Amino acid sequence: MQQKLQRAILVNVIPHESDKKEAMAEFDELVRLVETYGGMVILKILQKRGRPSASTFLGEGKAHEVGQLVKDMKADVVIVNGFLKPNQSNNLVNIIPCEVLDRFEMILKIFEKHAQTPEAKLQLQIAYNKYEFPKLFGKGAALSQQAAGMAARSAVSTAGGKRAARGPGEKILEVKRRHLRSQIQTLGKKLQQFRKVRELQRERRKRQDFFTIALVGYTNSGKSSLMRALTKKKNILVENKLFSTLDTRLGEVYMEGSGKRKILLADTIGFIQNLPPLLFSSFLATLDEVKEADLLLHVIDISNPKTAEQIKVVDDILDKLGCAEKPRIYVFNKIDACNPSGIAVFKQMYNTFPAVFVSALLEQNLDDLLAEIRKRLPVHV
Ligand code: GDP
Ligand code: MG
């Protein structure tokens, strides 16, 4: 898990009838994930196939081809833009002479690299252990067969040979599973304690009468930049990388008319499409801030070709968090990088919503945003 990624080959299987250009575009997010991790993509390979091979994901011939390419191009890692079953992953590793990851493992690696607080690290470890768990189940059969082979060879003349055939592999695995299970429980308890502390902190803030605003939005939409622009604090990590904010960060804003009451801004981790449910639940703790917030700023990258889809992903996650009814301002960001007709489309589409169009980078139209926020402050502040 600690190894650094360098030269990556991306692969995927698509149905015969699909459009190759579109399928290539689906690699974009994975490319950004790889770059976020500090690697570079040297090749993208699509295989048209009825469905992924049950044993090797790519067809076996294709897998060997990729293996050869890895050697020729000196690749360090092959990443499947999908999710590998344990046996697929085991078989691919035997064919391809470098590390083979799937999307889940790639995301885990990035989370791991960026986890800063003990809480974030703990959440990761839980996600990782939970991910290992089914993998061990999958490996059970293979390991048992190996063990059975050894047992059969050594006990060939004894009558006990057959019974031994089911034993040793399963036993080792059972111990491993039990260990993982208890580890997950212990980590879970620790995480509960962290959450309690956070809860207490939040309650204290409430008692002190803070008005909390949470920045939510797709990864890379400009949440941290906006937070920085609003708080004028230059110590928030801003990077052109997905997930560069893994932990919730808080900042304070002083607003004219907000009286004695302080406004707290909470930056959050980015949302991403197809986030594996296992990871999603591990990160719920950091999203507590979102659930507790008085107001949400949904930050949107308007310069992205997939703006509309990204808005939907975030809206859906907010619904799942039970935040459907929470007051929300749509903050269309990066207007400096978008042509006027693109902006006009969203202005029209969102004319019945509270929506503002800003550039966090150039600090454009931030007053519009502050005015919208002010409208939503409780009257007594
Ligand atoms: P986050 O993942 O949502 O926190 O996004 P960041 O604040 O880290 O920003 C991601 C990238 O978008 C960085 O390279 C920023 O410089 C860039 N960015 C943020 N706001 C703007 C903007 O208004 N205009 C442009 N052109 N780029 C921006
Ligand atoms: Mg950020």
Tens digits of pLDDT across the chain (381 residues) = 445 558 999 999 999 998 888 888 889 888 887 887 778 999 999 999 999 999 999 999 999 999 999 999 999 999 999 888 888 999 999 999 999 999 888 887 777 776 666 777 777 778 777 777 666 555 444 444 444 444 444 444 344 444 444 566 677 778 877 888 888 888 888 888 877 877 777 777 666 677 888 899 988 899 888 988 887 644 444 544 444 444 555 666 655 555 556 677 888 777 766 666 666 665 665 576 788 889 999 999 999 988 999 999 899 889 988 899 999 999 999 999 999 999 999 999 999 999 999 999 999 999 899 889 888 887 654
Task: Indicate if ligand 1 lies below 6 Å from the C-beta of 336.
Answer: yes
- Taking residue 4's Cβ as centre, other Cβ atoms within 10 Å add up to 11
Q: Which atom of ligand 1 is nearest to the CA of 239?
A: 8
Stated pTM of the model: 0.67
Q: Which helix (H) or strand (E) holds 353?
A: none
- Asked whether the CA dihedral 316, 317, 321, 325 is positive or negative, the reply is negative
| Closest atom of ligand 1 relative to the 358 alpha carbon | 23
Q: Give the angle 129-3-239 at the CA atoms, nearest 5°.
A: 95
* 360 in contact with ligand 1, CB cutoff 6 A: yes
C-alpha 288 – ligand 1 centre gap (Å): 24
How many angstroms separate the alpha carbon of residue 31 from the centre of ligand 2? 18
- Other C-beta atoms closer than 10 Å to the C-beta of 352 total 6
What is the 3-state composition of the chain as percent helix, strand, coil, each rounded to the nearest 5? 50, 15, 30
Is 310's C-beta closer than 6 angstroms to any atom of ligand 1?
Answer: no
Atom of ligand 1 nearest to the CA of 227: 7
Q: Is 249 in the pocket of ligand 1 (CB under 6 A)?
A: no
Which residue out of 226, 238, 290 has the highest number of ligand 1 atoms within 8 Å of its CB and is therefore the one to mutate? 238
Record the tokens describing residue 7, joined without a space: 């030269």
- Contact criterion met (CB below 8 Å) for 36 and 244: yes
